[in-house]
Structure 1
């Protein structure tokens, strides 16, 4: 009955007097917090308190002032786990326009930082006052640090291994032979009578392993629907830029094209250099990338976009075909996030597939494997469906 009362969000008001199933104590606070967000239209966080109703009264609403919402944010962080708090914050942004209140520094200090919150802050970047911008950078850096802890080392290890494998020489000098890998590669040539392996193929490392052998260009759509992908792309761009054997470039675009390569040392600077929202001209962005390719056969271009093109679709496909013909490895990601199946232009995705380029959504955890496959020239690990 207690759980049903919380699900119904009526605080036990629908029960009979004295039936013993009313909510009290912490349960009553939880009920008010839920009712403030999910109550009937005209009540809750987005409404004015009614006569005789103080802030947080069940069904009566926290007014839209910052102190009341900050108090509500404190309540939900006290009584719900972080994953649930993030869901409720996203619902508050959709239901009551919480994004407008995020321009207040004290509001930002009360929220639970996550990728979606960073996306909202980047969208508000143009109208954010300087006092709020300082707090916003702190929030964004917290999220970026968590993503780096989760993704950066794995990216470096996976991509570094791919570069090492692609650098192995077929006929290495004696000092360059990797004997462990050579033995494993020739186990099928084991001679039991002689208790030895015949090394038909030697596996070794090229002497130029320390030089830049591959170039990566991340071309990222910064339209509003791609916000989460922009956040992850900034973190991955910084991780790839830290791999000494890679020359990494980051380009973001809407109808204009901005090269943020010189800011890759700090993903937070990259994110505040983006401009979420606006139109899209994929063809123009690809033209910018194409003009900067110096070694096509050693270059991987990763387009991260939902493919909704504001320019000419033919121009986009022509650029892709030209790069492919020159030897560039091209990867098309419809999203780089954990947000689930994205909306995308299916006709242009099919056109890319006809060119031999599968277009698919990619989670951040899968991205290092995708990059490793692209750098080695292997088939991409395209998720099923």
Structure 2
């Protein structure tokens, strides 16, 4: 329906619904002189969203004298615009419009986004984190509820998708607490003292102490080291890597480490179980020194055969390749399981140096463009 976002009430002017011709004038952004005065607020709201002179009516020769959706004077600020959007289109559409404006570069709208109403997306989370990086603590505190809501929702969604790929990472063990299925052999052995012979000669066991099967948290006998490139070109992949690491940190059989590197390496393992804290600690920017990240990872290895080293990068190494290849060969030679995950751009397509990746493959490290789900499957196959 022209002029009405999905799920919103049709725009109204004073006295009732706008006439179809007036609604088209608003959509096309032309002939504002023919709009009723009561439609001025609608025209202004649309101009603030699309930009005066940049709406649909500004292209294709439709503009001319009297063109443009609304008044020349913009709203005094984003709060007034936000309130007007809620009145005109409803709170749901207001959150959609503000989120779209934020991801397109309007950082001033972030303070108006309601944490409980906004639709979570990685793009919006990246925008908020990018903006939060340069804020003083007082203003950052105001954004924390929004960041927390986005991170929790996205992590929960990701965990739902990853858990099936990680099946089998916990083992059943006997328990006296009800909850799992009855472990009949163990129950019989535990209750032999209650065995009685019935008059017909059969033996009956009264299970005074039944034993059940439960899901066990086995000791963390595998180590996963995520070596994550946080150079300037890696923003989208960094968010996914941090969320994935937080999900994997909940796997009982894994001890998950998170190393962030550009030209320096920072060990953020202490934050890995809290994705909000982890993402707020990650600072994207700088050059790329993959060899330094792998060197630090090698220092964390204790049992090579039970160690997974996953590098998330575009493999645009800024230092001589000899050092990088030597680190890969050292890890592979020690018996570690290594994997290179190519970075993904905003559309989910792989973007990485195929030349460097080819040399890494020859050195013993497979390189693939994996989604978080595919990475979880690889991890699950290794540790089960």
TM-score by length of 1: 0.66
**Within 2, Cα distance between the matches of 1:370 and 1:26?**
57
Alpha-carbon contact 2:304-2:334 (below 8 Å) kept? yes
Aligned residue runs from structure 1 range 75-224, under 5 A: 78=91, 80=93, 86-91=99-104, 93=105, 98-99=106-107, 101=108, 105-106=111-112, 113-161=120-168, 210-224=218-232
RMSD of Structure 2 on Structure 1 (CA): 4.2
Please list the CA deviations of residues 293-314 of structure 1 after superposition, one character each: whole Å capped at 9, or x if unmatched. Answer: 1111111111111122222333
Report the equivalent of 2:233: 225
Report the equivalent of 1:36: 48
**Within 2, Cα distance between the matches of 1:357 and 1:290?**
14
Structure 1 unaligned residues grouped into runs of 5+ = 44-55, 166-174, 178-207, 377-385
* Among candidates 313, 323, 327, match of residue 321 of structure 2: 313
Report the equivalent of 1:13: 31
* Among candidates 254, 269, 279, match of residue 246 of structure 1: 254
1:162 Cα deviation (Å)?
Answer: 5.3
- Relative to structure 1, the CA distance from residue 144 to residue 73 in structure 2 (aligned partners, 3 Å threshold; closer, same or farther) is farther
1:262 Cα deviation (Å)?
Answer: 1.3
**Within 1, Cα distance between the matches of 2:242 and 2:344?**
11
Alpha-carbon contact 1:306-1:343 (below 8 Å) kept? yes
1:72 Cα deviation (Å)?
Answer: 6.9
Alpha-carbon contact 1:248-1:261 (below 8 Å) kept? yes
Query: In the alignment, is residue 58 of structure 1 matched against residue 70 of structure 2?
Result: yes
Structure 2 unaligned residues grouped into runs of 5+ = 4-20, 56-67, 173-182, 186-215
Aligned residue runs from structure 1 range 299-378, under 5 A: 299-335=307-343, 339-375=347-383
Please list the CA deviations of residues 326-368 of structure 1 after superposition, one character each: whole Å capped at 9, or x if unmatched. Answer: 2211121123687321432222122233345443333334332
1:275 Cα deviation (Å)?
Answer: 0.9
Report the equivalent of 1:172: none
Please list the CA deviations of residues 105-141 of structure 1 after superposition, one character each: whole Å capped at 9, or x if unmatched. Answer: 4467696553223223333344202222112221111
- Relative to structure 1, the CA distance from residue 61 to residue 339 in structure 2 (aligned partners, 3 Å threshold; closer, same or farther) is farther
Alpha-carbon contact 1:105-1:131 (below 8 Å) kept? no
Alpha-carbon contact 2:236-2:345 (below 8 Å) kept? yes
- Relative to structure 1, the CA distance from residue 224 to residue 121 in structure 2 (aligned partners, 3 Å threshold; closer, same or farther) is farther
Secondary structure of the structure 2 residue equivalent to 1:127: coil
Secondary structure of the structure 1 residue equivalent to 2:156: helix
Count of residue correspondences: 313
Alpha-carbon contact 1:219-1:303 (below 8 Å) kept? yes
**Within 2, Cα distance between the matches of 1:111 and 1:154?**
22
